[in-house]
Amino acid sequence: MDLKRIRDVLKTHYGLKPIAIRCLQGYEVGTVLLSGTGDPLILKYYPRSDSRTQWLAEENRILQHLALNHKGRFPEVYPTLDGSMDVHANGTHYRILTFLDGDFLAEASQTPGLLTSFGAFMGRLSKTLVKVKPGTLASAESEWDLQHLLKNRQFLTRVKDKRDRALIDYFFLQFEREVLPYRYHLRKAVIHNDANDWNVLCDGREVSSLIDFGDICYSWQINEVAVALTYILMGKDDPLSAAEVFLRAYHAEFPLTQEESDVLYYLVAGRLCMSLCQSAQTIEAAGTSLTPEQETYINISKVPAQKLLHQWIRINPLKARNAFRSAIGVPEPAPGLRKDLMERRSRFFSPALSLSYNTPIAMQRAAMQYMYDVSGNTYLDAYNNIMLAGHSHPKVARAASEGMARLNTNTRYLYNALDEYAEQLLALFPEPLNKLFLVNSGSAATDLALRLARYGTGRRKMLVLSQGYHGNTSAGIAVSHYKHVKKDLFPDTLIGPFPGTADGNTLGGGEQSRRCIRAYLDLVQSHAGTLAGFIAEPIMGCGGQLPLPEGLLPEVYGEIRKQGGVCISDEVQVGFGRLGKWTWGFQMRGLVPDIVVLGKPMGNGHPIGGVVTTAAIADAFAEGPEFFSSFGGNPVSCAIGKAVLDVIEEEGLREHAEKTGRILLRELENLQGHHTAITEVRGSGLFVGLALADREGKPDAAGASHLCNALKDRRILTSTDGPMNNVLKIKPPLPFDALNTSQLCTEIDRILKQTGSSC
């Protein structure tokens, strides 16, 4: 700030001789407070440019209009000696505005009364501004204008926290899908566009004025509301209630349409994302030149914005929509009745298609680790291992829709997506696993893996684990003891003992373990020369999240290979980094299988399955009939698969699973110390099981089912499994974080306390 120059301008152009000039902190323009000139005044100065000249002319025009209608509520332009609105001198624009006194709304206690006053104030402002002609503002395209939110996507990579980045991109995607389709229905008007609570002044009980018109634009009218709401919702425990208070008062002054109120949820999120992208960009662009004060100023809303964004995604958009509708007097629509939905379903489907929970949930949408039902509830998903990257992950969703709009064909043509995906996926496997087959489900992958094993060895018989599950095709079911206990149905399947205790716990490293391994080795030896191979999961999923005894896989692999068979690792549930320490389950035991079966998280919900094997096995298979799958390896699926791998890498999901998994195991073990019902906590990363027993120490299926249903009633999704159905399964989407862990463990603790299982 060049004080001498400022004093010269003040004297020459305004005839002012202030006693004191104090610098006020601003984002990009110079702002100083002048005192000793009668009423205090604000001087703003900006580098001169043609666009700035035009901009200031528009701002001055709007301030004049407001001065006519709302005396003392908004800054007024203090004219120069010759009656001009501003001064151009020394390559700088100077402009003086009246100073408005009051407390910042940001620092006031935001009672419902004050929020009502704020809503009414903004409504009155809108009533006036709606009559103002846009002039040249109509063609401006600011990055701070919510209708141009997507301009901020270019700054996404500047956001440091990678999972925040995904969350922001999720809301960019929702903006495209949920807001942009309505853009021609949303009213447009001149808006202030920055009614953040540091620009709003109040006198304790009432909002008195609004300052800083530096972001005015001609935009969707509702954006005025969205911006104002965004800032008052920060730091609130119950943001929706605060929003309703504001909206009710705004609507009474300036009625909103239902369409406007319906897009508000995504506009508030949009403003948060814009603010986070802009602050990240400003910090990055400034590099080391930012002063600590400037950085504090930029961060002033960054931390609360980040916090509100994480709070916001926990709110079911339907709940927000209904709250906003209710505030503007639109009746809430009756939700579809669960009973009707269930009746309709039973008309079309066999009861073989089961539903989860005592009272099934009608789901509507989902985001990252949260799921939203049709009644406005939000569930924490601690169960769906398929959505590894998170529900509706923007990178995966975009890969799907962009691919479908460009090219979808099959492997009989050449296209990059197939080879690119194969290269990226196979790079995650040790040699000699270097050949890939792509199919559309874990079951189809198992089926193909069995064919490969049988083709390569010329034998049929497979060794499997008791309680294993590998797929729903005829061949998959035949090797899945979990679904079929009558072994005589499947003459080609040799079933070993259950690799856990009779009550569903792990065997540990002792004598029981040795006996189990011995039993498997005996089986192989007694069928030597007839076995095509062995298929197993490294941690059994359907078997109750059960890690196999440490030596089982290495020893059985050795014995199977000795007698000419192949070893198949089913990584459908545990693969792709969920285990934290390892990308693949077989790495737990330092093994390399001959064939690997992939599925579930491979497409983050899109149906992709795969088989990875050695060149020798793949080549032997090629001597048989052509292998063709209409959909396996299509370009859209490949692009989705690649997006999943990119997300795992970019967001460090495996490392995140390791870190969060450690916290989860620690908290659950802590609970085990307080509840006798918990007999074992096991697993790795975010693939965890909690075994439950009753008072007599017997496997407690009813207790596990009660816990699972009670958690669901508290809006947390888990499931039960294991041979005795007494294991609670926890295998959430990987964005699941430490806060979610703590919520889950707190609720488990409360439920077990209520059922009286404490020590």
Residues lying near ligand PMP in the complex (CB under 6 A)? 441-443, 446, 469-472, 537, 541-542, 570, 572-573, 599-600
Answer yes or no: are the C-beta atoms of 439 and 632 closer than 8 Å: yes
Q: How far is the CB of 654 from ligand PMP (least distance, A)?
A: 19
Residue with tokens 């440091």: 160
If the CB atoms of residues 239 and 601 are measured against ligand PMP, the closer one turns out to be 601
On the 0-12 / 13-18 / 19+ scale of CB atoms within 10 A, 485 is: exposed
If the CB atoms of residues 270 and 538 are measured against ligand PMP, the closer one turns out to be 538
CA distance 703 to 705: 5
Q: How far is the CB of 191 from ligand PMP (least distance, A)?
A: 50
The structure tokens listed for 755 are 């059922």
CA distance 492 to 643: 39
If the CB atoms of residues 147 and 441 are measured against ligand PMP, the closer one turns out to be 441
If the CB atoms of residues 125 and 465 are measured against ligand PMP, the closer one turns out to be 465
Q: How far is the CB of 545 from ligand PMP (least distance, A)?
A: 11
Rg (CA), the chain: 32
CA distance 440 to 606: 9
Q: How far is the CB of 472 from ligand PMP (least distance, A)?
A: 6
If the CB atoms of residues 75 and 607 are measured against ligand PMP, the closer one turns out to be 607
Provide CB contacts within 8 A for 597, sequence distance 6+: 442, 445, 446, 449, 470, 535, 568, 569, 570, 571, 572, 609, 610, 611
The structure tokens listed for 12 are 């020459």
If the CB atoms of residues 272 and 542 are measured against ligand PMP, the closer one turns out to be 542
Exposure letters 157-185 (e unless 16+ CB within 10 A, then b): ebbeeebbbbbbbbbbbbbbebbeeeeee
Q: How far is the CB of 477 from ligand PMP (least distance, A)?
A: 10
* Alpha helix ranges (H) inside 70-152: 112-129
Q: How far is the CB of 569 from ligand PMP (least distance, A)?
A: 10
If the CB atoms of residues 570 and 737 are measured against ligand PMP, the closer one turns out to be 570
Q: What would the DSSP string read from start to end of 380-449?
A: EESS-TT-TT-BT-HHHHHHHHHHHTT----TTS--HHHHHHHHHHHTTS-TTEEEEEEESSHHHHHHHH
The structure tokens listed for 718 are 């888990």
Q: How far is the CB of 356 from ligand PMP (least distance, A)?
A: 14
If the CB atoms of residues 369 and 446 are measured against ligand PMP, the closer one turns out to be 446
If the CB atoms of residues 568 and 678 are measured against ligand PMP, the closer one turns out to be 568
If the CB atoms of residues 213 and 482 are measured against ligand PMP, the closer one turns out to be 482
- Report how far apart, in Å, the C-alpha atoms of 389 and of each of 170, 380, 465, 515 are: 12, 15, 30, 39
User: Which residue lies nearest ligand PMP, judged by its C-beta?
Assistant: 442
If the CB atoms of residues 212 and 571 are measured against ligand PMP, the closer one turns out to be 571
On the 0-12 / 13-18 / 19+ scale of CB atoms within 10 A, 243 is: buried
State the sign of the Cα–Cα–Cα–Cα dihedral 243, 245, 250, 252. positive
Answer yes or no: are the C-beta atoms of 584 and 592 closer than 8 Å: no
Q: How far is the CB of 530 from ligand PMP (least distance, A)?
A: 24
CA distance 493 to 534: 10
CA distance 97 to 75: 6
Q: How far is the CB of 470 from ligand PMP (least distance, A)?
A: 5
CA distance 439 to 123: 57
Q: How far is the CB of 290 from ligand PMP (least distance, A)?
A: 51
- Phi/psi for 632 (5° steps) reads -60, 125
If the CB atoms of residues 209 and 467 are measured against ligand PMP, the closer one turns out to be 467
Provide CB contacts within 8 A for 179, sequence distance 6+: 263, 266, 267, 270
Q: How far is the CB of 659 from ligand PMP (least distance, A)?
A: 25
CA distance 609 to 444: 7
Q: How far is the CB of 575 from ligand PMP (least distance, A)?
A: 10
List the beta bridge partners of residue 437. Answer: 611
If the CB atoms of residues 118 and 469 are measured against ligand PMP, the closer one turns out to be 469
The enclosing H or E element of 579 equals: none
Q: CA angle 659-665-671, nearest 5°?
A: 140
If the CB atoms of residues 147 and 467 are measured against ligand PMP, the closer one turns out to be 467
Q: How far is the CB of 348 from ligand PMP (least distance, A)?
A: 21
Q: How far is the CB of 684 from ligand PMP (least distance, A)?
A: 15
